[in-house]
Amino acid sequence: MSEKNYQEIRQKLQECFERQEMEQGLKIAIEIKEKFPDHASASYFNLAYFQALLNLTKDTVETLEEGYEKGLWWAESTIISFPILIS
């Protein structure tokens, strides 16, 4: 898929977040992760973030661990901003 397609679907994800449509956002985050492997760091992060927003603690941790196993990492300040860790 093209970079333009990525930007369009990424915009839809942002709109779901702004409208607090977390279930729809989760579906889009899953789609992004599957279709855009070149954006793995952002994809895994966004998927885990929506999982956290929906209190899917086990899924959140599994997604972050899967990303880490693929060589991805995120700054501590980014990870501690997760809703699941501050609620």
**6-31 residue pLDDT tens:** 999 999 999 999 999 999 999 999 99
pTM: 0.87
37-62 as b/e, with b when 16 or more CB fall inside 10 Å? eebeebbbbbbbbbbbbbebeebbee
The two three-digit tokens of residue 67, written as one number: 């990303």
| DSSP summary character for residue 55 | T
Cα 76 to Cα 23, 24, 73, distances in angstroms? 26, 27, 9
Residue range of the domain that includes 16: 3-86
**Count of domains observed in the chain:** 1
* Residue-wise pLDDT tens digits, 31-58: 999 999 999 999 999 999 999 999 998 9
